[in-house]
DNA sequence: GTTACGGATGATTTCGATTACATCAGCGCG
DNA sequence: CGCGCTGATGTAATCGAAATCATCCGTAAC
């Protein structure tokens, strides 16, 4: 592998000039630039990344951690992140934490070792060591949270208004005439689930149906949707509608409905959350809350770059628009 | 950020000793090690990654490129890759090429700049500049291909036997009594599609049904499954079974079947490929070929590490086991 | 015609770790 | 008692590029 020295020698200039050709071409005479570029082409020179990074203290890399990359919601957000990062000349270091705190800490270490310029995390936990960093650096900490909204972490974030979205779902169901509504939440440790549940409760109270709510906790997976919906459907006062906090759980719930010998939406209405690509290809097509997954990905990158470029002075927490997409899985409850 | 110098001073030793504490602890006296570790803890020292990488010429990073991370098949393979890489102390640089050759080249550049120790690519194209590298380094080139099998590229790979898998699918359909079988392939530029098609053709000929095959090209997306299946179902001699080269296309085909007022599997049997998590939650549950996505991910990492550690002298191309999973979407053709 | 200035380029230091080589103390052995 | 060896540690070169400071040359101003 040729180095900048080799190029300099070959082009008959100093290494400083070669370096300038890349980083500040307008400081170099056109003829000299040509000579250097020819030498570069001739030798097949590529600047060594580690050397550059050591000198500049920049890596042009963004570390992105995600609880589970095989989840279509997250993988779509990641795609948006990758797209925006790539457009800005950054590349993406992927960390799949598998919901494990230990792994989150390990990835946090990478940030402290300067293996990446910043961190985007899509979970809801901020590793302790990074919390210290936030305390020290304030709104200039190069850490951004996506999807969740945990104001007390003190990091920039991009997310939807989960509370409002959940309320809209409930309004839709109550509007159709449902009374007994089952709700399968995600783990309540995540603010995202807590917010949605708050929205559910607020709407229920507004409609005077708080007592008819049947809340049960899931973990966002298909299997837990199947399990919890089965449980809900076996109750004597079976809900006529089920609201799942993820489309995956709704897929499981749909299977539970079928196994119970019921038909969606005739017997039981079903609502999901996220609007992953598969939601509209289920039978029946799934009513769900559409999250702007691409936009969230782009936005978290924008927020992080603002911080890295020193453009951010205050803490930015951005709420992006969601949309209730009513499809075929919700209808009026059975006449009873 | 404290440096190794600061730690050395604080601990009253030389930088060499500090370095040894991390990279070769048994060369250091226990007491000295303690002193150093205390200084490290006191100052909150983390070795600078760029400096280390510059000196050692290693990055402990693996670049992984994928045509589309939001595809559940790929995201699952990636999860396997991340898992195996992490277990071996490597981290993953993710590149989403969006099927674009230009992007593939850009990521190839990262390898040449030594931003990663090796490359795992899940598409079927090897950028030109890397082909040169392969030509020069032979089986020691730190590049591994996953999922596809293109022997002429000369890179290590892990994949299933696509030809055999496709034959099994066709045998299953012919065994059920189907004659007119529609096949929706992927882009034929990929060896993977070509291999499967070869398997389809071989089986058709073996069963004397080559003329009844109805092959049409898709692009692995739900939308193309919907489109191409609609086209197949509109033909006068409608196929009684459709074999899609991906589960996503099968989801689209399922929708096409519904829209045509038909019922799967009563009127039309359907087979997918990959066995993504959602396949068994479709209605009807999808018959498909299960690919060992986790194992592919683990295996490509193993192959790459073998090369990086100098353990590989010959070109390794590994075939992993697949499995035809018969579920509810295939049945005997209608009596007609 | 000297001075001053600015544009182009070169010489050299620097980033922070690793590592080959040097040093030094202690010990066993003849 | 001195030689040589081994084990622990220090000294200093090195990785490859970026950036500071120095230098050189030509030109415009007085």
Chain centroid to Cα A141, Å, comes to: 19
d(CA A76, CA A82): 10
Sign (positive/negative) of CA torsion B134, B140, B143, B145?
positive
Picking from A50, A252, A258, the nearest residue to B283 by CB comes out as A258
DSSP three-state, residue B2? coil
* Angstrom distance, B50 CA to C19 C1': 17
Q: What are phi and psi of A48, to 5 degrees?
A: -75, 125
A20 CB inside 7 Å of strand C: yes
d(CA A213, CA A224): 19
Best mutation site among A47, A281, A297 for testing chain B: the one with the most B CBs within 10 Å? A281
Give the percent of chain B with pLDDT over 90: 93
Q: Does B4 touch chain A (CB under 8 A)?
A: no
Helical axes B247-259 vs B222-233, angle rounded to 10°: 40
**pLDDT surpassing 70 at residue A324:** yes
Identify the band that residue A336 occupies on the pLDDT scale cut at 50, 70 and 90: low
Exposed, middle or buried by CB within 10 Å (0-12, 13-18, 19+), for A66? buried
d(CA B45, CA A173): 55
Q: For residue B131, what pLDDT is reported?
A: 93
* Angstrom distance, A57 CA to C16 C1': 11
User: CB–CB of B48 and A114 under 8 A?
Assistant: yes
**For residue range A179-236, what is the model confidence (pLDDT) as tens digits?**
999 999 999 999 999 999 999 999 999 999 999 999 999 999 999 999 999 999 999 9
Q: What is the mean pLDDT of chain A?
A: 96
B5 CB inside 7 Å of strand C: yes
Q: For residue A312, what pLDDT is reported?
A: 87
d(CA A12, CA A111): 40
Enter the tokens of residue A120: 């985007």
Q: For residue A215, what pLDDT is reported?
A: 98
Enter the tokens of residue B335: 């009596």
**Which residue, among A315, A297, A308, A296, has the nearest Cα to A85 in the 3D structure?**
A297
| Cis status of the peptide bond prior to B265, with omega within 30 of 0 | yes
d(CA B249, CA B229): 9
Kind of pairing, strands A323-325 and A288-290?
antiparallel
**Which residue, among A77, A80, A15, A82, has the nearest Cα to A52 in the 3D structure?**
A15
Q: Does B103 touch chain A (CB under 8 A)?
A: yes
Average pLDDT over residues B174-197: 96
Provide, as residue numbers in chain A, all residues whose Cβ is less than 8 Å from the Cβ of B296.
none
Enter the tokens of residue B108: 């190839």
User: CB–CB of B282 and A277 under 8 A?
Assistant: no
* Angstrom distance, A313 CA to C2 C1': 52
Residue A224 falls in which region: left (phi positive, over 0), alpha (psi -120 to 50) or beta: alpha
Q: Does B35 touch chain A (CB under 8 A)?
A: no
Residues 157 through 216 of chain A touching chain B, CB cutoff 8 Å: none
Q: Tally C-beta pairs within 8 A across A and B.
A: 143
Helical axes A30-43 vs A15-23, angle rounded to 10°: 100
Kind of pairing, strands A91-96 and A61-66?
parallel
Average pLDDT over residues A52-65: 95
CA atoms within 13 A on the CB side of A9: 7
d(CA A308, CA A1): 31
Q: For residue A279, what pLDDT is reported?
A: 97
Identify the band that residue B312 occupies on the pLDDT scale cut at 50, 70 and 90: confident
CA atoms within 13 A on the CB side of A190: 21
Q: Does B124 touch chain A (CB under 8 A)?
A: no
**pLDDT surpassing 70 at residue B336:** no
Identify the band that residue B1 occupies on the pLDDT scale cut at 50, 70 and 90: confident
Q: How far is B161 from chain A (nearest CA, A)?
A: 24
Q: How far is B131 from chain A (nearest CA, A)?
A: 15
Provide, as residue numbers in chain B, all residues whose Cβ is less than 8 Å from the Cβ of A117.
none
Closest residue to C12 (CA, C1′): A16
d(CA A142, CA A138): 10
Residue given tokens 């979407």 in the structure block: B329
Residue given tokens 């310029």 in the structure block: A117
**Which residue, among A115, A70, A72, has the nearest Cα to A97 in the 3D structure?**
A70
Q: Does B14 touch chain A (CB under 8 A)?
A: no
d(CA B311, CA B307): 6
Picking from A61, A110, A255, the nearest residue to B281 by CB comes out as A255
**Which residues contact residue B312 at a Cβ distance below 8 angstroms, ignoring those fewer than 6 apart?**
B139, B140, B156, B303, B306
A124 CB inside 7 Å of strand C: no
Q: How far is A114 from chain B (nearest CA, A)?
A: 6
User: CB–CB of B281 and A252 under 8 A?
Assistant: yes
Closest residue to C14 (CA, C1′): A55
* Angstrom distance, A107 CA to D10 C1': 34
d(CA B258, CA B154): 45
User: CB–CB of B114 and A72 under 8 A?
Assistant: no
Q: Does B255 touch chain A (CB under 8 A)?
A: yes
**Which residues contact residue A295 at a Cβ distance below 8 angstroms, ignoring those fewer than 6 apart?**
A80, A320
Identify the band that residue A1 occupies on the pLDDT scale cut at 50, 70 and 90: confident
d(CA A174, CA A176): 5
Closest residue to D15 (CA, C1′): B55
Pinpoint the alpha helices (H) of A208-317: 222-233, 247-259, 293-308
**Which residue, among B87, B107, B71, has the nearest Cα to B223 in the 3D structure?**
B71
* Angstrom distance, A18 CA to D12 C1': 28
CB A57 within 8 A of CB B57: no
């Amino acid at each position: 592998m040729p180095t900048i020295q080799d190029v300099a020698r070959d082009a008959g200039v100093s290494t400083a000039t070669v370096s300038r050709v890349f980083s500040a071409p307008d400081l170099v005479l056109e003829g000299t630039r040509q000579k250097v570029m020819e030498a570069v082409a001739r030798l097949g020179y590529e600047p060594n990344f580690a050397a550059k990074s050591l000198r500049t203290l920049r890596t042009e890399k963004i570390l992105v951690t995600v609880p589970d990359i095989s989840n279509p919601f997250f993988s779509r957000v990641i795609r948006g992140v990758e797209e925006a990062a790539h457009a800005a000349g950054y590349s993406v270091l992927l960390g799949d934490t598998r919901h494990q705190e230990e792994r989150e800490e390990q990835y946090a270490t990478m940030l402290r070792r300067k293996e990446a310029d910043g961190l985007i995390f899509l979970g809801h936990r901020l590793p302790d060591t990074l919390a210290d960093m936030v305390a020290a650096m304030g709104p200039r900490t190069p850490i951004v949270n996506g999807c969740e909204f945990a104001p007390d972490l003190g990091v920039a974030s991009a997310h939807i208004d989960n509370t409002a979205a959940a309320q809209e779902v409930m309004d839709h169901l109550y509007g159709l005439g449902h009374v007994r509504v089952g709700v399968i939440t995600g783990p309540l440790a995540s603010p995202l689930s807590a917010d949605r549940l708050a929205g559910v409760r607020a709407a229920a109270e507004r409609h005077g149906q708080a007592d008819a709510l049947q809340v049960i906790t899931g973990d966002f997976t298909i299997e837990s949707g199947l399990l919890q919906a089965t449980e809900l459907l076996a109750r004597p006062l079976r809900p006529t509608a089920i609201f799942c906090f993820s489309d995956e759980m709704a897929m499981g719930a749909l299977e539970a409905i079928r196994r119970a010998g019921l038909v969606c939406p005739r017997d039981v209405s079903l609502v999901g959350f996220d609007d992953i690509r598969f939601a509209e290809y289920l039978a029946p097509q799934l009513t769900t809350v559409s999250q702007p997954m691409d936009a969230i990905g782009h936005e978290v990158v924008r927020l992080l770059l603002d911080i890295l470029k020193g453009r951010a002075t205050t803490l930015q927490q951005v709420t992006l628009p969601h949309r209730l997409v009513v499809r075929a899985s919700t209808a009026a409850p059975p006449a009873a």
